[in-house]
Structure 1
Amino acid sequence: MSKSIKEFSLHYDSINESNTFSSGDIVEGRVVLEVTKEIKVDSFFVKLTGDAHVSWTEGSGDDETTYSDHERYFKLKQYFIQESLKKGESEKNTTLVDGETYGPVIMPGSHVFPFRFQLPQQNMPPSFKGFHGWVKYVLTVKLSRPWKSTSSTHTELNFVLRNDGTNDHLLQPQSATQDKKMKLFGSGKMSINVTAEKTGYMQGETIKVFVDIDNSSSRDVKLKYSLRQQQTFIAGRRTKRAYKDIVKETRDRIPSGEKSKFIVDMTLPHDLNVTIENCRILKVQYELKVYLDVSFASDPEVKFPVVILPAEQQCPPWQGPPGGFQPYPPPQPNLVPYPGELPPPPAGLYPNLYDPTVLPYPEAAAGVYPNPNPHAIQPGFQPAPSAPVYDPNQSTKESTPNMPY
């Protein structure tokens, strides 16, 4: 980072306890720029992008081939300072977002640049990082100056699918039976009947499976079950698959000539990746397998598809948890507006700052917020009465605490 730039950091406001975002949500935040001397700027902007990417290599030596593909969902961009020659120009595959603009000179001091984006109302896959690909939603800020290297920083948003509770078909039970007749190394037959309560389960939920076993053979058997994740990566006509065991266990032995009933409980991790079916180049799917382990013979098995759904949000997407309301303070007075004086903000652009009637807490109109963030208080900073203060002396440079990178 240049010696003239003391701090260059990017911050956004959480809207719920899980710090996640979904389609249509508002992403508000601020860029903090502290400079030790006057600087001239060519371009200064923040952007929000959503992308999926897959890549893997097959073969070796002269036969090595890399397969890859990319899918972009959106690119939103808000300029704080834009080169005068490029003002008004459209940018390919980019949605320009209106916001406050400033002149090309930034005076010494600490400055706060607010931004606001709305995530598109479209069917996009959730954030994901797999063996050969990923889905990412990234906030990036870039500052370009004449004859200087570009300053840049970024942070990732955790994007999740909204659990709307409309998947009624996922609530239907699944049931199947498998029989096996012993021919070699034994005689008689065995059967396994498996019933799962439903197909769809939320993160952190427990899968309950009922198993009936009739071992009318001359062999002892063991009950085993597993939940496996399959990741599929697609690049053109090529496909790459990878597997990950989420649960894999062995239960009691069922002796020859006995019948047994089992209830199998599998508690899903709270951070388990949800099923992804809405991405062209990347899929995440799950399979539940219950089977009888028979030595020196094929195993009778029952397989069910399982759909992992996002856990229900703790708060509505438009209302953060208590103490989570953190609108950005207005720009500092030592910014140099361009041209002339700094105009008032467009009506409706940042209503939380300028209209007390739309604040989420009744006390907010008086500048009082429940459970204030002690790290956001700094004596000497004088924001508008309705906005909480911001601490420019925080040591974090790229993101505030508890933020994803």
Structure 2
Amino acid sequence: MSTVKQLSLTYDAVNNSNTFTNGDVINGRVVFEVTKEVTITSLYIKCKGEAKVSWSERRNDKSYSYSASERYFKLKQYFIQDPSKKGKEDPGVILTSGEIYSNVVKPGRHVYPFSFQLPHGNFPASFVGCHGSVKYILEVTLDRSWKMDRTDKKEIIFVPRLSGVHLMNPQSGSTDKKMKLFTSGNASVKATIDKMGYMKGEIIKVSTDVDNSSSRDLKLKYCLEQCQSFFAQGHSKYSSCTIFKIVGDSIPSGSKQRVSTDLTLPPNLELSITNCRIMKVEYMFKVYLDVPYASDPEIVFPVIILPAGQIFAPGQNQPSFQPYGNPGGPGWNQPPPQPAFGSGPPGTFGPAPGVYPGPFPSPMCPNPDALPPSYASLYPNPNSTAPGFNPPPSAPLFNPQDAPMGYPNPPVPQQHPVPSAPQFCPGPVAPGYVPEGAPTGYWPNPPTQPEPYPTKSPEKHE
């Protein structure tokens, strides 16, 4: 019979969706039960966020493998620590303070509380794709001499907090086509969608003006596509799929029509990822005419899928949707400039321009001499539970009925309150925070981008 009867971890949810975001505090406990007295080398829990990609390709009867990783943070708390290993942590590991217990563990069931505050930073959302993933993990490890390590892990779902002010503007585009094969004449299409950023399950409002001066009736179609891009060791891998394709009304030959359509996004879409150096998840919404026996004239709009309940800046109302106007007016065939978007080269880091702007874009601060808005007004308490939500009760510290026969009830390890999160994970100051007693006109420095985790790039295979 194994000496270690149980090693497990649990954590408390902070909302009904059981998701976490920047600055949230994760509280939980590790349960450790043994049948007899044991000596432990170390017992610790870590919280980490990282992205990984990997794939294989076959060329000229040879197989080549590519991989890369990117770490966002790694937090660690010891319950039992080997004194000889103090100060020998890997670079980049942030140790959090907590009660250190004796390495001699009495028989019975013991409960060790832990607490982590997720850092503030530009981290991507949790994601699992065909050639890579972004994961945020809680993992407890038990280390004993001459024994295999025992572990238990739980994955938490991370949803970033973003500023979406610049994603609320309408997008417009136009295109035309001269018919050549089996069809004569011309066709022109002009389309507008109400914005760029959408939440899962939200409605895309589309207004389309079609001038069908061809000899055929043409059908108007809509399509949403997802593209996953992965980068490693100077190589890239792409995968795309069609989320939905919808056939609209038929436009008769020789007619002009304006068509307004509401399209509902699926509720199970993955969030967009444009702020990861080794992978991207992007969406393209297409409006096009189905032309038989020829290429279809299409208009492509980049679409950003945002977290549900996204918070926007105070005073920034979503602009009303106004379809692009008169098909017979001047400039009807000239598309306005499209927002910058697309897969960057593997050597670049960060979002495309205009996709995820900073926390204080110029429209929010027309007066640079005024004090910035408070953090509380921008972001309510992230750990406040939803109405009617009851978090799971904490695990009991000790259950005498679980004690083995023949042993006295062991004492519970002395526990002290875990220090508040800022003491052990300072991280960058939240955007908009003004310290107490700051002089008039104080303006905090903008947050800096976290350094990406270095990856080793082996020699390229030719």
- Do both proteins adopt the same fold according to a TM-score greater than 0.5, normalized to the shorter chain? yes
Q: Structure 1's 346 and 188: CA in aligned 2 closer, same or farther, altered over 3 A?
A: closer
Are 2:305 and 1:308 aligned? yes
What does residue range 317-396 of structure 1 map to in structure 2 within 5 Å? 317-321=382-386, 322-324=389-391, 326-327=393-394, 334=410, 342=414, 344-345=416-417, 348=420
Q: Following the alignment from structure 1 to structure 2, what is the Cα–Cα distance between the partners of residues 232 and 218?
A: 40
Q: Following the alignment from structure 2 to structure 1, what is the Cα–Cα distance between the partners of residues 420 and 186?
A: 73
Q: Following the alignment from structure 1 to structure 2, what is the Cα–Cα distance between the partners of residues 89 and 83?
A: 11
Give per-residue Cα distances to partners, 1:277-317, cap 9 Å, x unaligned.
11111111111111111111221111111111111169841
Q: Following the alignment from structure 2 to structure 1, what is the Cα–Cα distance between the partners of residues 288 and 119?
A: 44
Q: Following the alignment from structure 1 to structure 2, what is the Cα–Cα distance between the partners of residues 47 and 18?
A: 23
Match of 1:134 in 2: 133
Moved more, 148-157 or 211-220: 211-220
Q: Following the alignment from structure 1 to structure 2, what is the Cα–Cα distance between the partners of residues 128 and 331?
A: 37
Match of 2:179 in 1: 182
What does residue range 144-293 of structure 1 map to in structure 2 within 5 Å? 144-163=143-162, 166-293=163-290
Residues matched between the structures, number: 344
Q: Following the alignment from structure 1 to structure 2, what is the Cα–Cα distance between the partners of residues 50 and 349?
A: 18
> Offset of 1:258 from its aligned partner?
3.1
> Offset of 1:162 from its aligned partner?
1.1
Q: Structure 1's 343 and 279: CA in aligned 2 closer, same or farther, altered over 3 A?
A: closer
> Offset of 1:331 from its aligned partner?
7.4
Are 2:2 and 1:12 aligned? no
Identical columns (%): 50
The answer as to whether partners of 1:113 and 1:331 remain within 8 angstroms in 2 is no
Match of 1:367 in 2: none
Give per-residue Cα distances to partners, 1:152-209, cap 9 Å, x unaligned.
111101001114xx43221111112222222331222222121111111122211111
> Offset of 1:60 from its aligned partner?
4.9
Q: Following the alignment from structure 2 to structure 1, what is the Cα–Cα distance between the partners of residues 41 and 282?
A: 47
The answer as to whether partners of 1:29 and 1:328 remain within 8 angstroms in 2 is no
Q: Following the alignment from structure 1 to structure 2, what is the Cα–Cα distance between the partners of residues 226 and 175?
A: 16
For the aligned residues, what is the CA RMSD?
Answer: 2.5
Q: Structure 1's 125 and 226: CA in aligned 2 closer, same or farther, altered over 3 A?
A: same
Partner SS state of residue 169, structure 1: helix
Q: Following the alignment from structure 2 to structure 1, what is the Cα–Cα distance between the partners of residues 206 and 55?
A: 37
Moved more, 80-89 or 149-158: 80-89
Aligned partner of 1:135: which letter?
A: V
Q: Following the alignment from structure 2 to structure 1, what is the Cα–Cα distance between the partners of residues 122 and 110?
A: 36
Give per-residue Cα distances to partners, 1:93-115, cap 9 Å, x unaligned.
21111111111122222211111
Q: Following the alignment from structure 2 to structure 1, what is the Cα–Cα distance between the partners of residues 108 and 381?
A: 38
Partner SS state of residue 59, structure 1: strand
Partner SS state of residue 20, structure 2: coil
Normalization by structure 2: what TM-score? 0.69
Which 5+ residue runs of structure 1 have no aligned equivalent?
Answer: 351-405
> Offset of 1:259 from its aligned partner?
3.2
Normalization by structure 1: what TM-score? 0.79
Match of 1:100 in 2: 99
The answer as to whether partners of 1:18 and 1:313 remain within 8 angstroms in 2 is no
Aligned partner of 1:323: which letter?
A: N
The answer as to whether partners of 1:204 and 1:311 remain within 8 angstroms in 2 is no
Which 5+ residue runs of structure 2 have no aligned equivalent?
Answer: 312-379, 400-408, 423-462
Partner SS state of residue 149, structure 1: coil
> Offset of 1:343 from its aligned partner?
7.1
What does residue range 49-60 of structure 1 map to in structure 2 within 5 Å? 49-60=48-59
Match of 1:125 in 2: 124
Give per-residue Cα distances to partners, 1:107-157, cap 9 Å, x unaligned.
222211111111111111111111111101001111112222211111101
From 268, 284, 294, give the equivalent of 2:291: 294
> Offset of 1:34 from its aligned partner?
1.9
Moved more, 194-203 or 250-259: 250-259
